Amino acid sequence: MKRGLLSFGCLIATGFYFAQHSSITGQITGGGILKPAVGVDLEGTDYSTFSDSSGVFRFSEIPSGHYKVRVKLNDFQPFYKEVVIKENDSLTLDINLKATDRGSDIEDVVITGTLKSVRRSDSPVTIEVYSPAYFKKNPTPNIFDALQNVNGVRPQLNCNICSTGDIHINGLEGPYTMVLIDGMPIVSSLGTVYGMSGIPNSLVERIEIVKGPASSLYGSEAVGGLINVITNNPHTAPLFSADLFSTTWGEYNLDVGFKFNAGKKAKVLTGINYFNYQNKIDNNHDNFTDVTLQDRISLFQKWNFQRKENRLFSIATRYMYEERWGGDMRWNKSYRGGDEIYGESIYTSRTEFFGSYQLPVNEKIFLGFSFVNHDQDSRYGETSYIANQKIAFSQLNWDKKAGNHDLLFGAAMRYTYYDDNTAGTSTILGENKPEKTYLPGVFIQDEIRLAENHQLLLGFRYDYNNIHRNIFTPRMAYKWSVDQNNILRLNAGTGFRVVNLFTEDHAALTGARNVVVLNDLKPEKSYNINLNYTKKMYFGSGSHIALDASAFYTYFTNRIVPDYETNTSQIIYDNIGGNAVSKGFSLNANLNFANGLKFIMGGTAMENTITDNGITEHQILTEKFMGIWAVSYKIRAWKTAIDYTGNISSLMRLPLLGQLDPRKRYSPWWSIQNIQFTYEGFQKFEIYAGVKNILNWTPNKGTPFIISRANDPFNKQVKFDSSGQVVATPDNPYALTFDPNYVYAPNQGIRSFLGVRFTFK
């Protein structure tokens, strides 16, 4: 082992010895003044640095080739310069920036926090931005899996059999997270269960995340936070791109994107994603599949039209079809819906249409619109769940500036149609009665520049729900730019959420529990405050560090929490007779060193409690700490990048089936870690390979079983007493029923992967 490590070290040293030592150095000035801490990058590459205290920047050990040097700084015109570097060449490039009336910089432009396109540092609302390059450090077949490496955000599996899941933000369950595509509420309610897994990475330009209530702008469901998936712009997307990878578990994923001109005034972007996994694996020996088998295709197309005065007009559509099943290793489609061999089989057909149109008037008025049709044909053992949901949404925004006031007026209408074959959409007489919900609303937002470094944002929204009537959601945000590298933000607001059990809680359908709703469920309400501080530090060597710290507190009333423990054969739903609290602290750190070593790290300490009738308990399936990291380094001589990514979660309370259940009440600390090597030496494509879950961690370790009564999934041998409680018998000594909801982490163990990416610009 030591000899192998020594040989590997010698290879690295040899690579550096024979490396090309071409370099670019220069000094940056602006208005006759030296400019320290200015970002400089070579466009289209990962080479970037910052000028030191004397305004000097330096790129070392650059391979020979053609480059475009790019510099952007507030209040100065962007600088671009094409250069040619030969082997062992040392180029000196002094840069004199020219002043401009309108500054810009290299940072992200965001829209999620205020529904306006602003630079991230100018937004009074704290927004986290993630690019596709970040998610490529650990390639995944969809957005749901990709979010596992975002601090404070955790994809939560809710079923050991069909791998349903949702997105937790700061420990709050998936229904509290709103998912948007291009600002439109595409993935919600029924679609949160299976719709998230169908969003392909190929169509993503960036992902913006807001933690904390945002109901004053986006309405219901934006209680815990929101995730806005911004799709690629056909004008800037590559002509053709493809990403294909497979794993040793038999997973295959293909992402293809291409664009073309449709006439002289339209550009069209098309994306195709196909994922297939058909390999039955049962490593934990319970005779059930460890991972759900899936066959999914997703088609996406986006049109951008050229209009007078560059007014916006964009429309997009996406279609997804998926077949998935999990269950007994002997299951096939002939057993679908029967009580012989247990399986959970879900067919999903989903169509989305959304767009944005700027009205042809002098004022900045935009119309956003979307329509979603979601059909789901499911069998959970012998339980049939067939559902259809249609959501139509439109929102009109008027962006108006008046003095030091930046105003936004809006009017929205959301219509939801929902029908299924359960008692949830039936009358007392048993007649079918689909739910039809109308939610019109208006809102106003005023962003006030109080002084040069002080901004205040005030917002108010009014919605009228045809069932729950009047709903008010105010918000406030304050931003203090201490200086260019230190920013303090304070955000406060309220949220509301109308609950539909069958569309949001998979546990209401799977297993053998009966669903009991004690009373008419009232809408949940929340009150939130968030304090955020960001700091940037630059060093003379060209290294820099960015820190982002947040403290958050959310108080809930009318919280609806499923009760798994009062009666082990039931799931009882009701508004709690008290309150719920979510509070905590998070820290993100980005460290970029001049030698190419980069660290992205984050941790969130949180406490989520439920107080019901005077008794306070920690919320089930919620960790007290989670952390993520991504360590990247490029061996430039070998044109190879190394990415080491991972996440860690603390213990969480798990749903047991009574006092005799031998499984652990709390999960252990657990971590999923991955490593990837990417070779970038080719002009049009790159090859990557690595290992996922290198620790081979799975949740079955240390517990006698994961799925309760997997040998009797239809409870044919279970005995019940007169009150419906399970009776212990020699065949069932722990008094259990079949239940697959004891789950908190993926069942998939270690596996290697290999992939290739093509890009033609």
- Tokens 């009017």 belong to 411
What percentage of residues in the chain have a pLDDT greater than 70? 84
Listed residue (514, 462, 452, 505) closest to 483, CA to CA: 452
For residue 406, pLDDT over 60 is answered with yes
Section 40-53 average pLDDT:
78
- 200 pLDDT band (50/70/90 cuts)? low
Tell me the one-letter amino acid at 310: N
* Token pair listed for 472: 């008010």
Section 42-58 average pLDDT:
78
Cα end-to-end span (Å), the chain:
44
Which positions ≥6 away from 575 have C-beta within 8 Å?
Answer: 519, 521, 522, 524, 558, 559, 560
Which positions ≥6 away from 236 have C-beta within 8 Å?
Answer: none
Domain boundary among 97, 124, 143: 97
Q: Is residue 566 part of a domain?
A: yes
The Cα 63–Cα 21 span in angstroms is: 8
pLDDT one-digit tens code per residue, 668-697: 999 999 999 999 888 888 999 999 999 999
Listed residue (74, 319, 107) closest to 206, CA to CA: 107
Looking at the chain, the number of H-run helices and the number of E-run strands are 6, 45
- Tokens 């689909």 belong to 434
Which positions ≥6 away from 55 have C-beta within 8 Å?
Answer: 27, 28, 29, 34, 35, 36, 38
* Token pair listed for 693: 């879950």
* Token pair listed for 34: 């030296």
Main-chain phi, psi angles of 8, to 5 degrees: -60, -40
Split into its structural domains, the chain has a count of 2
What percentage of residues in the chain have a pLDDT greater than 90? 34
For residue 347, pLDDT over 90 is answered with yes
* Token pair listed for 108: 């992200």
Listed residue (673, 670, 661, 668) closest to 741, CA to CA: 661
Average pLDDT of the chain is 82
Section 63-71 average pLDDT:
83
* Token pair listed for 226: 């929101």
Which positions ≥6 away from 311 have C-beta within 8 Å?
Answer: 358, 360
Q: What is the distance, to the nearest Å, from the Cα of residue 403 to the centroid of all Cα atoms in its chain? A: 37
pLDDT one-digit tens code per residue, 409-429: 989 998 988 888 877 677 777
* Token pair listed for 691: 């290992």
Q: Is residue 149 part of a domain?
A: no
Q: How far is CA 221 from CA 67, 459, 524, 529, in A?
A: 46, 18, 10, 17
The Cα 531–Cα 590 span in angstroms is: 19
Q: CA-based angle 185:187:193, to the nearest 5?
A: 155
Listed residue (191, 643, 159) closest to 416, CA to CA: 191
- 11 pLDDT band (50/70/90 cuts)? very low
33: domain CATH number is 2.60.40.1120
Listed residue (152, 144, 166, 142) closest to 209, CA to CA: 152
Task: Yes or no: say if 206 and 232 are a contact pair by the CB < 8 Å rule.
Answer: no
The Cα 607–Cα 188 span in angstroms is: 26
Task: Yes or no: say if 316 and 182 are a contact pair by the CB < 8 Å rule.
Answer: yes
Listed residue (70, 320, 57) closest to 200, CA to CA: 320
Q: Is residue 355 part of a domain?
A: yes
The Cα 562–Cα 682 span in angstroms is: 54
For residue 163, pLDDT over 70 is answered with yes
The Cα 185–Cα 165 span in angstroms is: 18
Q: Is residue 618 part of a domain?
A: yes
* Token pair listed for 395: 């929102």
Q: Is residue 270 part of a domain?
A: yes
- 380: β partners: 344, 383
Q: Is residue 625 part of a domain?
A: yes
The Cα 188–Cα 211 span in angstroms is: 17
426: left (phi over 0), alpha (psi -120 to 50) or beta: beta
In this prediction the pTM is 0.81
pLDDT one-digit tens code per residue, 564-605: 666 656 667 677 778 889 999 999 999 988 777 899 999 999
Least confident piece of the model among 182-196, 436-450, 463-477: 182-196
Domain boundary among 38, 72, 97: 97
pLDDT one-digit tens code per residue, 693-745: 999 999 988 888 999 999 999 999 999 888 778 899 999 999 998 988 888 88
- 199 pLDDT band (50/70/90 cuts)? low
Tell me the one-letter amino acid at 709: R
Q: CA-based angle 300:674:747, to the nearest 5?
A: 80
Q: CA-based angle 270:275:277, to the nearest 5?
A: 175
> With b meaning 16 or more CB within 10 Å and e meaning fewer, what string describes 291-326?
bbbbebbbbbbbbbbeeeeeeebbebebbbbbebbb
Listed residue (153, 156, 152, 154) closest to 164, CA to CA: 156
345: domain CATH number is 2.40.170.20
Q: What is the reported pLDDT for 507?
A: 46
DSSP H helices in 81-136: 132-135
The Cα 524–Cα 205 span in angstroms is: 33
Main-chain phi, psi angles of 113, to 5 degrees: -65, -35
Domain boundary among 49, 74, 97: 97
Q: What is the reported pLDDT for 452?
A: 83
* Token pair listed for 510: 């799977």
Q: How far is CA 678 from CA 128, 238, 594, 641, 643, in A?
A: 26, 20, 20, 5, 8
10 Å Cβ neighbour count for 712?
17
Q: Is residue 4 part of a domain?
A: no
Task: Yes or no: say if 443 and 410 are a contact pair by the CB < 8 Å rule.
Answer: yes
Main-chain phi, psi angles of 37, to 5 degrees: 55, 40
Least confident piece of the model among 81-85, 192-196, 284-288, 656-660: 192-196
Q: CA-based angle 291:295:298, to the nearest 5?
A: 125
Higher pLDDT, 642 or 181: 642
CA atoms within 13 A on the CB side of 433: 9
User: In this structure, what is the dihedral angle of CA atoms 565, 570, 574, 576, given to the nearest 10 degrees?
Assistant: 0
Q: Which domain holds residue 645?
A: 231-760
Q: Is residue 501 part of a domain?
A: yes
Q: What is the reported pLDDT for 435?
A: 83
